[in-house]
């Protein structure tokens, strides 16, 4: 939840060796989501896998609405344990919002791996070992290209619908492993690491809320407003949202997203924030999750949950989602869609 307000070919492309490499990269099972394609899924979606470097499990559950009808899961995720080669893995979560949010997250879930593959091929063609700056630059390009393509796609109405997008590339050989994260919105990636005999949380992305000063200033300079809803008594309700200067639209509760064409006119954009993390022996696991998890659970809460699962990724996903669901039911009449991907590092 937290989206728009509502009441409740080049020459290289023709090289068969390049095409074979691209086919191998994208042939690995690893695209999953609530709405498969553009169909409505109201149940549970899971995925799991492993290689010599890591093992993972993913779980996505549709939320709950009090009127009793089944809710469409607008969350989606990607989980490529081997993105072309064993040393490269890609994970991501996309939390759709708005009337067409499930179509947007489905689109982004499909297009990010496809375009990322092309961008990584560019990096590989430029250098036998592309550096981190090069990969990060291509990661930014992926988000922006997907956003531009979505805007041009007239089959999906993204005027008041969009999706968060948070993704991490885990790459490099043992002893030189890194995570490059790209984030637009308020889904989140964290690391659970060991320090002084304790497991602690480190956030590899920052929730891009409209009231963050740097985000707020950009939106204001573009003519938008950043303020919460106001009730009949003049009291603020809920989080700060993005509004047009003279209209109660779109009411977006994040400062960056893919889609959301109307919000984009007042400074909301799809350019992701990039962070790079050097994996060490202290890093035990990574969690990628939608706002359905982070609304009521802190990063530290999630690390504690995973810690109690003794290396069982399936159980960790189930526990995170079950705890999140209980918190939603205790606090709200509705339950947001809940998605978690848990990745244990086996060789760093």
Handedness of CA 171, 207, 328, 248 (dihedral sign): negative
Give the tokens for residue 190.
């964290």
pLDDT tens for each residue of 130-182: 678 888 899 999 999 999 999 999 999 999 999 999 999 999 888 899 999 99
Position 117 pLDDT exceeds 60: yes
Of the candidate ranges 44-48, 185-189, 282-286, the one whose mean pLDDT is the lowest: 44-48
Predicted confidence at residue 94, as pLDDT, reads 99
Mean pLDDT of all residues in 184-191: 99
pLDDT tens for each residue of 247-282: 999 999 999 999 999 999 999 999 999 999 999 999
For domain 12-208+270-345, which architecture applies?
Answer: 4-Layer Sandwich (3.60)
Predicted confidence at residue 120, as pLDDT, reads 80
- How many angstroms separate the CA atoms of 322 and 119, rounded? 37
Handedness of CA 121, 114, 169, 219 (dihedral sign): positive
DSSP string, 8-76: ---TGGG-HHHHHHHHHHHHSS-EEESSSTTS---SEEEEEEE-SSEEEEEEEE--B-TTSSPPP--EE
With cut-offs at 50, 70 and 90, classify the pLDDT of residue 111: very high
Average pLDDT of every residue of the chain: 89
């Amino acid at each position: 939840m937290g989206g728009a307000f509502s009441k409740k070919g080049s020459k290289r492309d023709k090289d068969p060796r390049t095409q074979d490499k691209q086919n191998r990269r994208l042939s690995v099972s690893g695209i999953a989501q609530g709405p498969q394609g553009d169909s409505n899924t109201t149940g549970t979606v899971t995925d799991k896998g492993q290689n010599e470097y890591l093992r993972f499990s993913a779980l996505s559950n549709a939320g709950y609405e009090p009127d009793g009808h089944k809710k469409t899961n607008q969350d989606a995720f990607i989980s490529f344990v081997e993105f072309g080669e064993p040393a490269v893995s890609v994970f991501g979560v996309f939390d759709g919002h708005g009337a067409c949010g499930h179509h947007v997250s489905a689109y982004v879930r499909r297009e990010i791996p496809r375009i990322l593959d092309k961008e990584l091929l560019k990096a590989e063609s430029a250098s036998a070992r592309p550096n981190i700056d090069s990969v990060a630059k291509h990661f930014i390009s992926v988000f922006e290209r997907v956003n531009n393509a979505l805007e041009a796609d007239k089959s999906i109405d993204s005027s008041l619908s969009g999706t968060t997008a948070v993704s991490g590339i885990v790459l490099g050989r043992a002893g030189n492993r890194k995570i490059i994260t790209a984030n637009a919105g308020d889904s989140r990636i964290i690391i659970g690491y060991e320090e002084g005999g304790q497991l602690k949380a480190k956030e590899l992305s920052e929730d891009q809320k409209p009231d963050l000063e740097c985000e707020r200033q950009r939106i204001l300079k573009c003519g938008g407003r950043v303020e919460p809803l106001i009730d009949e008594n003049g009291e603020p309700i809920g989080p700060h949202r993005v509004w047009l200067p003279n209209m109660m639209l779109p009411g977006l509760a994040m400062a960056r997203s893919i889609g959301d064409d109307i919000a984009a006119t007042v400074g909301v954009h799809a350019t992701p924030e990039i962070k790079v993390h050097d994996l060490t022996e202290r890093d035990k696991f990574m969690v990628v999750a939608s706002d359905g998890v982070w609304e009521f659970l802190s990063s530290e809460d999630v690390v504690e949950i995973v810690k109690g699962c003794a290396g069982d990724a399936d159980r960790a996903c189930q526990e995170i989602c079950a705890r999140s669901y209980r918190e939603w039911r205790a606090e709200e009449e509705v339950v947001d869609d809940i998605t978690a991907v848990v990745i244990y590092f086996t060789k760093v």
